[in-house]
A = this chain, B = another copy of it.
């Protein structure tokens, strides 16, 4: 199976005064790739929230920054689910520039009720994509 990836261009908004992408902004790129991974399976986050009353929320995150991304770089962000259980799923993700690894992350996402934010089982029509 080919790995899912999504392109992200680095704009001024992403950089900081050190001339490189600000460390928090990699998390935006990671989230775009997860959202597009879902969309590629026909799942829109807005529709999920409206129709199923659930949200996905990040509960754990580990990220290793290896090399700095810079203005105008075109980044490729990968996204691979790792099944864990009824409520949570891990995503293994990488940020690459050409074949150079800039950052790698493991992101644990939990399914929660959209109003109470209490953990709840991932609905089956989504869970089957995680396994």
**Residues of A in contact with B (beta carbons under 8 Å apart):** 9, 11-13, 15-20, 22-25, 27-28, 31-32, 35, 44-47, 49, 55, 57-66, 68, 70-72, 114, 117
Contact = CB atoms under 8 A, between A and B. Distances in A.
Copies in the complex: 4
Contacts of A35: 11-12
Q: Which of A9, A61, A63 has the most CB of B within 10 A?
A: A61
Given A46-B72, A72-B44, A13 B22 contact: yes
Contacts of A19: 17, 19
A59 B70 contact: no
5 contacts: A13-B16, A13-B24, A17-B70, A24-B31, A46-B71
